[in-house]
Structure 1
Amino acid sequence: MQPPAGPPLSPEEAEREAQRQLWEKRLTRARFTYDSYKQSTRYPHESRPISEQPDLVYPASPERKQPLGKEQRDIALKLKQEKIYVVGDETVRFFVGCENASTGQPLPCEVHSAVAREAPHLAQAGQAAAVPLDFNDTGREGDEVAGDGMWTGRFQPSRQGFAMFEGTLRVEFRVRASGNAEGGAFFDIVFTPAAPATFTGKVREVVEQGSLQLYVGLQVRKPGRYVMAGRVDDEAGIPFAYVEFNEELEAGAREVKFTVFGLLLHDKNPDFPLRLRDVEGFLLREQGDPDREVVKALYGPVHLTQQYTLDRFSPDEWTSEERQRYLDEYAKDVAQAESELGNLSGRPGNPKAP
Structure 2
Amino acid sequence: MKTDDAALIERCRAGDIAAFEPLVEKYRQRVWRLAYNVVRDREEAWDVAQEAFVRAWQALPNFRGQSAFYTWLFRIVMNVAADRLRARSARGRAFGTERIPEEDWDRVLVDQPDDARPDAAAAGSEQRARIEKALATLSADHRRIVVLSDIEGLSYKEIAEVLEIPMGTVMSRLHNARKRLKAALGPLLVLLVALVALAAPLVVDAQQVVRFGARVLLATDKPPASTSLPMAPPEPDERLRAFLPRLRQLTGYREYTSLERYRAEVPIGSVQQWPVPGDRTLEVVPDRVSGDTVHMHVRLQRGAVNEVTTNIQAARGNPAVIGGPRYADGVLVIIVWANANPEPR
TM-score w.r.t. structure 1 length? 0.25
**Which structure: greater helix fraction?**
2
TM-score w.r.t. structure 2 length? 0.26
Rg larger in 1 or in 2? Answer: 1
